[in-house]
Amino acid sequence: MGSDDSMISPERQFGVTKPLSVAGPMDVDLQRTLDLEKFLEDSGLYESAEEAEKRIEVLARLKHIVKEWVRELTRLRGYTDQMVDDANAVILTFGSYRLGVHGPGSDIDTLCVGPSYVNREEDFFYGFHNILSEMEGVTELQPVPDAHVPVMRFKLDGISIDLLYASISVLVVPDDLDISDVSVLNNIDEPTVRSLNGCRVADQILKLVPNVEYFRTTLRCLKFWAKIRGVYSNVTGFLGGVNWALLVARVCQFYPNAVPSMLVSRFFRVYTLWRWPNPVMLCEIEDNELGFSIWDPRKNPWDRAHLMPIITPAYPCMNSSYNVSTSTLRVMMEQFQFAKIICDEIELSRTQWGALFEPYHFFESYKNYLQVDLVASDTDDLRAWRGWVESRLRQLTLMIERDTLGKLQCHPYPHEYTDSSKQCSHSAFFMGLQRKEGEVIQEGQQFDIRGTVDEFKHQINSYSYWIPGMEIYVSHVRRKQIPYYVFPEGHKRRWSSASAEQCPKRIMSPDCVEGKQESPLKRQCISPQNWSPITPEIVNGVGEQAHIDVNGTCPASVNYIERLEFHGSELEDIQDNSVITVDALKSETTASRAHNGDAVCSPNSSILTRLSSAGSSVEDNAPESLNSSDGGREGNIAGKAEIGLGVLLGDSCEEGSNLLCDNLSTNFHSRTEAVGQEQLEVFNLSHVPYLSYHSSVLLFLFLPGLIVEKMKLETKVVCVVMSALVRILVCVFTHLMLFFPFFLLYCSQLLLMAIIQ
């Protein structure tokens, strides 16, 4: 593995630059590589010999199916018997299977190359689809013709297949077709070029890496890591299989003599320091007289907007990571930084490989989320509906970034969840929400994304294959409202067991090593915890009569409207979600509502959640095992007016408490502050006209004890009392100064009268 014979000389160049280092492995690196390979094998990343043999059989059957399909089309279109006999279509593989890094249960990316007279729209997505739908052994058939790269997904004899189709400009497709030859691109359209590029790129990657086996082990490791950490999904704005392959291949070019353990560590070291949007390229970008568009930000304005360009090595060279957004790039860079720290520890023999693959606890990383629920009449309809919505989810992230000028960041989580308790076919996706770090936001500033959500739903509902029963619901949920079916154990973890990765924004802080650290100045929320385990809160009905669905059945058509308000540094996790009326809202003209949320029905069956927390911050620091015991949320809610559903991003407790004290000490208008379940009134002393000396003394003597004894104020509110005492002292001193001259005059008069007498 580390012999001098296999070492690559410094003069040899891979890629567009010289290697960063040609140093080979030491004995400790070889041992770490053995440990890594054993860890990957123990994690079940290698398929068995039986499964490998089954994949070969399935591919052979698929080749036979497409060949017979093309022959039948040739016969139906009146070609000669000789043409029917010669008619052919070939099946080529790409992706993880072609690169040799597939694992148990993974799908096979395949490409069907057919003759020029067999088209994609009618023959493939209609005719061939019908053939597969009636064939024994074919299940979960799902065509996605509107995707950037049109694809048909299905299972053949239990093996997942992603099948593309490309029609090239020949009448007879040879069995030994050289897909790398640029001549196959003659007289074809852009979607066909994108379909062919999968195979062409995979072949080029294997040609451009110094050591194919080291490349495969490293790529297998990093794909596993990306899936564990929630950053493996091209469709949601992260990186897919080809993106990770290109990144790993470039690191292999930088360190041509490195073994997998070294390559994994250097991968995170390189891309943590990489200055995006500088592109990652395995070779020079090739142009050709065929005239296809290539990635060139000097000529193409749209290429300049790409945030994380990873360029494919086959003509026409394209950016394979055009889906990456500002938010997803931020998440990936945080994860790269976290992994770099772990790898540094591994190199110092302070920890083992298992620490690198600790799962990312997404539902403990944010305080507010968007939940996208999909329902359909049956499983087949849901599969088609889910494929369409999932391919458009990244648009919601982009639209939120656009409409909030990048101040509200979204973290789409590339995992699908299902609530098995629902009576309909159901699927759910989640997105974490947070304010952009370092962004200065004024108190009371709102992010209204109702229009954004409506625009997104309008795009989704334009699905060409929509049928009744396909519905989408977008709602805001807080951390406390996260449904329990998303957790593997069926309940939330204890915060005390949280590890460092839960705090990606504070990765370098030692406070995150042992779990979430509570600030000693923060006060805990004392609002009642009365959540029922259903989410999102779905309100059915029209007008002023509403019914909260707690039975887990399929909801009626509901629009979820989101208004995000920022009051301070970050999103607040509010525990109380009581239903209130508009009159109650109007009565709170100046009150700082500490813990409340609203949910009632609007005339168009819209829901808008509101979070308010100007004076407190709530932390989740207890295990969640709530039951559906909130009977007050069942049944009809009559007489409730239309309120929206929103998110208030509140100040921390320290800031909120100081602000409350300053306001109360300078402006003692009548206001209410919730302390537990009591309402305490602080009277307006500034409006008492010209306190007399005696009344001032009485207030000075008795008011502090009265407030502390009867109102039982907390320590943080004592500042209110102290401020009142200062005002009284000033009042007393002023009265004394006014009274003193009159006192001297009176004494002088008495003295003169005595002298005269």
- As annotated, the active-site residues are 96, 107, 109, 162, 223, 232
Integer Cα distance of 264 and 571 in angstroms: 35
CA 479 – CA 575 distance, rounded (Å): 9
| Tokens 């029917």 belong to residue | 84
If one counts every other C-beta atom within 10 angstroms of the C-beta of residue 441, the result is 18
Task: Look up tokens 């990936």; give the residue.
Answer: 332
**Tokens read off for 525:** 């929320």
Hey, what's the torsion of the CAs at 700, 704, 710, 715, to 10 degrees? 160
Helix axes 212-228, 241-254, angle to 10 degrees: 130
CB 434 within 8 A of CB 571: yes
Provide Rg for the chain, Cα atoms.
34
Give which of 723, 731, 668 is closest to 696, Cα–Cα. 731
Distance, in Å, from the CA atom of 15 to the CA atom of 751, rounded to the nearest integer, reads: 110
Distances (CA, A) of 247 to 24, 199, 259, 341: 21, 17, 16, 19
Phi-psi region at 532: left, alpha or beta (left = phi > 0; alpha = psi -120 to 50):
beta
Q: Please tell me the distance from the alpha carbon of residue 20 to that of residue 319, in angstroms, as a whole number.
A: 24
Q: What angle do CA 195, 143, 556 make, to 5 degrees?
A: 135
Residue 644 has which token pair? Answer: 């929206």
Place of tokens 């010209």: 690
Measure the CA–CA gap between 727 and 721, rounded to whole angstroms: 10
Helix (H) or strand (E) holding 673: strand 672-675
Write out the two tokens for 558.
């509901």
Q: Is 666 exposed, middle or buried (0-12, 13-18, 19+ CB in 10 A)?
A: exposed
Could you tell me the maximum CA-CA distance found in the chain, to the nearest angstrom? 152
